[in-house]
Structure 1
Amino acid sequence: MPDTLNAFAQTAPNRLLRLTSAALVSLSLWASPVLAKDPFRTTNAKPIGDRTEAAFKALFQQGDYITAAKYAQQAEASDPLTQALRASLTYIAWDGEREDTKKAALLDQFNTYADQTRQTAAALVAKDPLRGNLYQAVGHFLEGAYIFSKDGTVKGTPQALGEIQQAFKYMDAAEKVDPSDPELNLLRGYIDLFVSLNLPFSSPAEAINRLEQYANPRYLAYRGMALGYRDLNQPAKALAAVDSALQATPNNPDVLYLKAQILVRKGDNRGSLAYFDKALAKQNQLPPGLIKQISKERNRAQNRLGNVGQ
């Protein structure tokens, strides 16, 4: 068990928001003055704010972090989705920042948004217990990421694991309200998948099944399935899932990057280069840290190609 905890703690700061970013922020608003399309439900749709919908689409359909951040800052501050969206984008900025002063300020801001996510969610419970509990789970998960990022592996592990346990408590409460809700299954599928790959708390097969059977929107469900199969070293299944995601979001640099990674796992370094390049062609809408990571992985694939003639 200590080895498992250590592996989880070492990977958490960089993977916690990346793997689960879609789940952490892909929640619709309870109410706002301007109605927009509910991206999760085809029946019993909920009203969401126009700026929140725009931020959602910019981030998850187009992979445009810059535009998403602009809309997120304009969205309703009283809604927990807004705070979760701001937290996720701030964490990504923190992860790519190299100047110590700015990095510390971004981490403090991330913590503020994480706390506001949890507080606004608590206020929502009486009106909507499913979403209120969902967002409280999100808040605790974000706070776990903050603890790891601030305190590191050794000091942060006990407290961060406590936050993750709290997240599961609220997730269970949300599931009791409606276990088939597509938004719930999208979020829980991503979180269960991440945790199952690092701790023996849940099953990756069950997480992937949630995404496949119940989660919406489908392009995010397929993307989560591709991530899961990638990390389970099942590249053929991962490739099928990412191709389904690309059918719906063909120009999303995150999904193009994911396909490049999966092709590398399959040993197809030559084929991966085209997808790395397509992702980098969209770098004007990506954060600097992500651009650097994609470029690094592309160069590694190119070097392997030169070394072994693949």
Structure 2
Amino acid sequence: MSDRIDAAGAVLWRPDPDDRTGRTLQIALVHRPRYDDWSLPKGKLEPGEGTRAAAVREVAEETGFRVALGRHLGQVRYPVTRPRRATKHVDYFAALALAGRFAPNEEVDALRWYPLVEAVRHLSYPHDERMVAAFADLPAELTALLLVRHAKAGSRAGWDGPDSRRPLSATGRRQLPPLTALAGLYAPDRVHAAPLVRCVDTVAGIADQAGVSVLTEPLLSEKGYAGAEETAVARFLEIAAGGGCPVVCSQGGVIPDLLSRVAGSAGSAPVPELLPMRRPESKKASVWVLFFTAGGDPALVAAEYVQQP
């Protein structure tokens, strides 16, 4: 049995800078002199690193661009012989180029931007072509909304104040750095939370990183949601309709029902990660990355559940 090598990469894209209408886009291909090939930027995971973080890091190292991570496009597997005989597993994501400049390096000596159809003709490998096809299945410009369940809080029995003031536990505080790092991969620009200390504190670091304040959402607390589900869903979709990359922190008594209602709303695609579940997962400090169509009435078209180790 061959060894396994885990890697991650991205379909790096941007609006065509020469198209004033903003309707066309380009994707980046990199040339690796060691193999004399044209491929999507990718690389091996570092020890303890997740696929999403690796994809963002590898794109930056190979292309010089800072990105906003997008949806997961799929995983490809193929045999390699260098540096050893193994099977390589590569997870690919969409990634919007935000800023940067390419500079030749040891691994990549050239980068070229191509329109989508033309890029496929220049790729050296069929598995890269499949990832570009997966990227083209949905619009490039989607709103990524991060729905977060608050980190672990202290026990109710050990707290004698109002429940809304119950703070995070020591374990909950340890959950915050990886959660903040994960959210940062998507370049969030707005942060919302149910008006409970444990919810606000869970996303405070994300808000600080983005340079914004946490906006409280009473309807997205368990107390506010009960009996006002339709109004709460409408508020949630209003946040999604604002575009960009919002973060919303809520509670375990809200998130599963909210997800089911949003997934079943008009215009939303049947999302396999949601609809077969009678009660969608929602562990403490976990994140649902929800992708909505941009502009107008947002429709949910993809969803990914990320649980912290």
Please tell me the TM-score bracket, short chain as reference.
under 0.3
- Bigger Cα Rg: 2
Scaled by the length of structure 2, the TM-score of the pair is: 0.26
Q: Give 1 or 2: higher helix fraction.
A: 1
Larger fraction in strand: 2
